[in-house]
Amino acid sequence: MCDDVARERSPDWMLEKLNLGSTEEEEGEGDVHKPEVQASTDDEGSSEDECEPAKYVHCVDTGTACTTKPPLAVPGDAVGLASNIEQSTTTTKYMTSRETKHMTSKLLSQSTSLLRPDHSLTGLQHIDVPQLRLTGPCARACCDPNAADEWKMKEKPPPRLFPPLMPAMEPTVAFGASNEFFESAGLQPCFRPKLYVKYGGVQNNAVKAAFKMAGFRIIKGDKNYNALWSGAMKAEEFKTLNRYQRVNHFPGTWELGRKDRLGRNIARMRRHPEVFNIQPRSFALPQDADDWRLECERYPDGMYILKPPASSRGRGIRMMRRPSDVKPEKDLLIQRYVRDPHLIDGFKYDMRVYVAVTSIDPLRVYVYREGLVRFATEKYSQDPDSLKRRCMHLTNYSVNSKKEGFTMGEGGEEDDVGFKWSLSALRRHFDETGLDYTAMWARVKDVVVKTMLCVEANINTLTKMHVAHRNNCYEIFGFDILLDSHLQPWLIEVNTGPSLSAPTALDRHIKHRMVANLFNLVGFVPYDRTKFEREEEAKRQARLTGIGTGTGFLKPAKRDMRTLENINFGNIPRTDLPEVRSDMAVKS
């Protein structure tokens, strides 16, 4: 209902939503059950990631993206609302306990300054938390030296709930501000049921801070959680999720995260070369040994970059001048080197762009308008003799931060100092030098869309195999984008586990907002676990026996006497028979 309407959710958070219907599924590559395949995580490691939260933007507004039906651009507001728009298509009754039902009716009549009505759709409201705006006030330690680290605070504030953003929808947990602020804004607390988060793998301070400030409690060794933030998940773990639980991965995203698989998926779409020319040509050895041999014959003086297929943080990457130096039998990825990168003051740089996916079918992609710009620490040269100078050709923070002379801003608002900037600082630089940032950003979104189209079929197949509920999964990706001298963006790689730790003030200023925006977008719903499990079991028994439960989930069945007359029940009077559905009656 809401997917066809353009809407603005906040003056500072313009959301444009890619909403594609399910495309024709292509056959996978024979490794459907490979959760052990390792995808590349953030190349900066668990302590350094780069992107800032402010606005998610629709990925396709260039009009040249796909060979299928053109995607719909749906501007929206901040992250919080989009999840509720998606959930509005479901008919699930989320409020299962008496306390939560009472809370819902109370929230429906509640007035808060954090919601504002939509201009195009009656009954729809938008979330507008000032602290989550791109230019909004920041009370964190990155901008306030007297502020404490949120993830270390001892008090446990009660969760605060946003009222339903549309009629017949459920309240969702509020993220992004202190308990005192939400209370002053009129948001009601939720004391029951309690909310739980389970961590697995890397735990970073941006995620921990967001959940702790929102009133979540940490749970270990239990499946009764509301949110799971984990590393790679096995297929069996997806199958156990109920409709209220949210996990931060889709099955099969190694199709994006592994460099060899990403190159193969993009190459498969190059049957439309004028559309899917989004990544420098790559070769996965030894599978592509024949193609690599032809490449060597055609371009004997080409420059290439060699990468392990599943590495991160710049480990194992080296430059190569002569193709003949590569041994085809070795397991690695070779990629053509972009010789003419766009430079700022003589330094090469790339962009970390954060991309959120909340649904695979239909495909919904959000691009965050704020992110990080990472610079090499040595001035760029095309001299082949300089290929061994990693700090000239690689922009990885984990590589360049160790270089003597590396500097960056000390505060969160110093985003254009040294070798690490924000995307907002890059926009200002483009404006000052007369470059068209808007056109460049539109091409970046185009690259994001086409990349997701390359892997959508495989991920969609695995999601339908293993995930029972459409809203269970969401995922944040880190796209590394390089601009050439013509401001044409090139996809370098995609990180399925981008680091959300914030070792510097600029990281904290960007990532903490982005994560809170992301969680508002996803939408976490409180529910009574005990009663939910009891009602689910009753529904299962009703499906097996055909007997109504009397709980409201199934209406009492009506007798169909025409069918009953054909059944022999022996000496049992028909009036003593249980209620049955006519379509479930057993034929004699």
Mean pLDDT of the 292-311 span = 81
In angstroms, the CA 204 to CA 51 distance is 14
**Please, are residues 362 and 19 in contact by the beta-carbon 8 Å criterion?**
yes
Measure the N-to-C terminal CA separation of the chain; round to a whole number of Å: 45
The predicted structure's pLDDT at residue 241:
93
Q: Map out the domains of the chain as residue ranges.
A: 543-584
For residue 56, CA distances in Å to 76, 341, 356 come to 9, 26, 8
463 pLDDT tier (thresholds 50, 70, 90): very high
pLDDT at 541 over 90: no
User: What is residue 498's DSSP assignment?
Assistant: -
Range with the poorest average pLDDT among 242-246, 265-269, 322-326, 330-334: 322-326
Amino acid at 551: T
**Please, are residues 495 and 259 in contact by the beta-carbon 8 Å criterion?**
no
Question: Tens digit of pLDDT for each residue in 88-138?
Answer: 333 233 344 444 455 555 554 555 688 888 887 778 888 889 888 888 888
In angstroms, the CA 119 to CA 129 distance is 18
Strands 304-307 and 318-320: antiparallel
How many helices (H) and strands (E) would you count in the chain? 15, 23
Question: Tens digit of pLDDT for each residue in 3-35?
Answer: 332 223 333 333 444 444 333 333 333 333 333
Beta-carbon neighbour count of residue 77 at 10 Å?
A: 24
70 pLDDT tier (thresholds 50, 70, 90): very low
3-state secondary structure 295-350: HHHHCCCCCEEEECCCCCCCCCCEEECCHHHCCCCCCEEEEECCCCECEECCEEEE
Helix/strand/coil for 491: strand
Locate 557 and state its tokens.
Answer: 């069945």
Mean pLDDT of the 331-358 span = 93
Range with the poorest average pLDDT among 29-33, 38-42, 231-235: 29-33
**Please, are residues 78 and 10 in contact by the beta-carbon 8 Å criterion?**
yes
pLDDT at 179 over 80: yes
**Please, are residues 165 and 84 in contact by the beta-carbon 8 Å criterion?**
yes
Question: Tens digit of pLDDT for each residue in 260-294?
Answer: 899 889 988 877 778 899 999 888 888 888 888 88
Question: Tens digit of pLDDT for each residue in 464-513?
Answer: 999 999 899 999 999 999 999 999 999 999 999 898 888 888 999 999 99
Locate 552 and state its tokens.
Answer: 């409201």
In angstroms, the CA 353 to CA 267 distance is 22
Locate 41 and state its tokens.
Answer: 């995580």
% of the chain beyond a pLDDT of 70 = 71
The predicted structure's pLDDT at residue 16:
44
b/e code 485-497 from CB counts within 10 Å (16+ = b)? eeebbbbbbbbbb
Q: At what angle do helices 259-268 and 437-466 cross, to 10 degrees?
A: 100
Question: Tens digit of pLDDT for each residue in 365-393?
Answer: 999 999 999 999 999 998 877 888 888 88
Strands 227-229 and 196-199: parallel
pLDDT at 359 over 80: yes
Nearest to 444 by CA among 127, 16, 93, 5: 16
In 5-117 the beta strands, taken as DSSP E runs, fall at 15-20, 56-57, 72-76, 115-117
